[in-house]
């Protein structure tokens, strides 16, 4: 275990973060001891498989926006009928 001060951590952050992967690093701040904790991996392969691409996300968002516009257009009378017709076709 290595004990360092916050000043040492700021001065050589990369060194101590790399060191924390191999051994316990503790930052002594006043009377408190703060332990640096390193986790192997937060996102699993299963999480990645369940995820969606940016393109898939954009398609869903676009559909939601179009639906919101349609609902809003139905509630109001449109002062530009041509725009209302275009929105209604989609």
Instruction: With respect to residue 40, please indicate whether it lies within any of the assigned structural domains.
Output: no
Whether 50 and 28 share a structural domain: no
Instruction: With respect to residue 19, please indicate whether it lies within any of the assigned structural domains.
Output: yes
Instruction: With respect to residue 54, please indicate whether it lies within any of the assigned structural domains.
Output: yes
> Mean pLDDT over residues 71-75, rounded?
72
Could you tell me the pTM of the whole model?
0.44
| Domains held by the chain: number | 2
Cα→Cα distances 80→74, 75, 88, Å = 13, 14, 13
pLDDT beyond 80 at 76: no
Whether 64 and 85 share a structural domain: yes
Each residue's pLDDT tens digit, 13-72: 999 999 998 999 999 999 999 999 887 777 778 888 888 888 989 998 998 998 888 877
Residue 88 backbone phi and psi in degrees, to 5: -70, -30
Instruction: With respect to residue 59, please indicate whether it lies within any of the assigned structural domains.
Output: yes
Strand partners, 25: 2
78: containing domain: 45-89
């Amino acid at each position: 275990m290595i004990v360092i001060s916050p000043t040492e951590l700021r001065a050589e952050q990369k060194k101590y973060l790399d060191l924390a992967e191999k051994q316990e690093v503790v930052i002594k701040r006043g009377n408190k001891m703060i332990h640096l904790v390193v986790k192997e991996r937060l996102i699993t392969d299963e999480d990645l498989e369940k995820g969606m691409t940016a393109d898939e996300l954009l398609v869903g968002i676009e559909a939601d926006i179009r639906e919101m516009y349609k609902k809003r257009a139905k509630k109001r009378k449109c002062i530009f009928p041509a725009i209302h017709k275009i929105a209604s076709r989609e």
